[in-house]
């Protein structure tokens, strides 16, 4: 069983916790291969999907994961709740707790809100992304995708490329990848790096060409236009020049290396249209949609482990 009740930050997890999640994800991945993709292990449990900002992949992934485990899941949307009448986040959470839920899955646009909520409620909580802070389940599904391709992690080189400053995925991935023994670099322009980047202990490069021939995993980040309060880059053309993965660069990558992206992809910005169109013929290398699929198995594992914790 896991050593934690909540998953709010990657630092909450021990290496053994991560290994247990990966092992259980393997089991649930086998379930997803069956004709009947459902197990009764969480029958009678109630999960609340509380999303305070838009989501497609994460929200639906959690919903499918819960249903595959036979749990009841309720989708909460703040725009149609009493928050529109002035109710606070804490009072909303307490109201939901009174209805005897078993697990809260929370996404919010403000960093730290999920941790704040956890202080006021004793229900288990999974952080589905909070502002620019963390997205731990994305990091776990990314790790699982790498595990399925390489078998182990130690010594693998990973280059996380793009908008590091505004990316909660980057923060979670860096922490988790380093925890599991990978060699992590970031590739970005100075204006797209956080001031505390030295805290993470990663090498910094200014152009994707610096790493393209040597990296095992090229992890492309989405430009977070919705979180940018000013223009961080002079033009898309300039971004493409230094940070886009196009076919020429794809052809320079190591034979067994991977291309990953948390989605949704801004085609023609992080990854060229032509490279994205190659995914169906290069499934062993371009893992964008496989990451989405793996997310269901990983979230099944995490939900199961949290709700069956003794």
Spatial separation of the C-alpha atoms in residues 188 and 206, rounded to whole Å: 5
Confidence of residue 84 (pLDDT cuts 50, 70, 90): low
Phi and psi (nearest 5°) for 105? -115, 120
Percent of the chain with pLDDT over 70: 94
Q: Rounded mean pLDDT of 5-13?
A: 96
CATH architecture of 10-135+292-307: 3-Layer(aba) Sandwich (3.40)
Spatial separation of the C-alpha atoms in residues 79 and 180, rounded to whole Å: 39
Q: Are 112 and 131 in contact (CB under 8 A)?
A: yes
The model's pTM: 0.94
More confident position, 310 or 109: 109
Spatial separation of the C-alpha atoms in residues 75 and 52, rounded to whole Å: 11
Spatial separation of the C-alpha atoms in residues 201 and 211, rounded to whole Å: 17
Which parts of 215-264 are beta strand (E)?
A: 217-220, 258-260
Spatial separation of the C-alpha atoms in residues 104 and 81, rounded to whole Å: 16
Q: Rounded mean pLDDT of 44-63?
A: 93
Torsion of CA 221, 225, 228, 233, to 10 degrees: 70
pLDDT greater than 70 at residue 80: no
**Bridge partners of residue 77, in order along the sequence:** 51
Q: Is 26 helix (H, G, I), strand (E, B) or coil?
A: helix
Spatial separation of the C-alpha atoms in residues 17 and 4, rounded to whole Å: 8
Q: Which residue has the tokens 């013929």?
A: 281
293: buried, middle or exposed (CB in 10 Å: 19+, 13-18, 0-12)?
middle
pLDDT greater than 80 at residue 79: no
Q: Is 30 helix (H, G, I), strand (E, B) or coil?
A: helix
Confidence of residue 78 (pLDDT cuts 50, 70, 90): low
pLDDT greater than 80 at residue 73: yes
> Residues 288, 158, 232, CA angle at the centre, nearest 5°?
75
Let me know if the fold of 10-135+292-307 is the same as that of 136-291: yes
Confidence of residue 310 (pLDDT cuts 50, 70, 90): low
- Ranges 12-26, 232-246, 248-262: which has the least confidence: 232-246
pLDDT greater than 70 at residue 17: yes
- Domain ranges in the chain are 10-135+292-307, 136-291
**Bridge partners of residue 87, in order along the sequence:** none
Confidence of residue 85 (pLDDT cuts 50, 70, 90): low
Given this model, what pLDDT does residue 232 score? 63
Which parts of the chain are beta strand (E)?
A: 46-51, 72-77, 103-108, 125-130, 157-161, 183-187, 203-205, 217-220, 258-260
Domain 136-291 has CATH 3.40.50.1370: yes
Given this model, what pLDDT does residue 13 score? 97
Spatial separation of the C-alpha atoms in residues 249 and 220, rounded to whole Å: 13
Given this model, what pLDDT does residue 38 score? 95
Reported as a single tens digit per residue, the pLDDT across 117-166 is 998 888 999 999 999 999 999 999 999 999 999 999 999 999 999 999 99
More confident position, 22 or 88: 22
Q: Are 140 and 20 in contact (CB under 8 A)?
A: no
């Amino acid at each position: 069983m896991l050593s934690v009740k909540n998953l709010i930050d990657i630092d909450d997890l021990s290496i053994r916790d991560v290994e247990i999640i990966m092992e259980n994800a393997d089991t649930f991945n086998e379930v997803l291969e069956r004709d009947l993709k459902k197990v009764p292990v969480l029958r009678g449990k109630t999960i609340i999907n509380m999303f305070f900002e838009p989501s497609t992949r994460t929200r639906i992934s959690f919903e499918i994961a819960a249903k595959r485990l036979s749990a009841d899941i309720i989708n909460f949307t703040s725009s149609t709740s009493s928050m529109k009448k002035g109710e606070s986040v804490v009072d909303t959470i307490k109201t939901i707790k009174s209805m005897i839920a078993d697990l809260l899955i929370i996404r919010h646009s403000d960093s730290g809100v999920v941790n704040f909520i956890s202080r006021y409620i004793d229900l288990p909580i999974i952080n589905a992304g909070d502002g620019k802070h963390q997205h731990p389940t994305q990091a776990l599904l990314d790790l699982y995708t790498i595990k399925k391709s390489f078998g182990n992690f130690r010594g693998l080189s990973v280059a996380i490329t793009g908008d590091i400053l505004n990316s909660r995925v980057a923060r979670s991935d860096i922490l988790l990848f380093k925890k599991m023994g990978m060699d992590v670099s970031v590739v970005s322009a100075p204006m797209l790096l956080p001031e505390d980047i030295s805290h993470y202990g990663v090498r910094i490069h200014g152009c994707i060409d610096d790493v393209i021939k040597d990296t095992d995993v090229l992890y492309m980040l989405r430009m977070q236009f919705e979180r940018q309060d000013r223009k961080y880059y002079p033009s898309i053309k300039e971004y493409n020049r230094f940070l886009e993965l196009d076919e020429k660069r794809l052809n320079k990558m190591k034979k067994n290396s991977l291309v990953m992206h948390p989605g949704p992809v801004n085609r023609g910005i992080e990854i060229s249209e032509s490279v994205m169109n190659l995914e169906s013929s290069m499934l062993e290398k371009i893992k964008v949609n496989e990451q989405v699929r793996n997310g269901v198995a990983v979230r099944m594992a995490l939900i199961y482990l949290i709700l069956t914790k003794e």
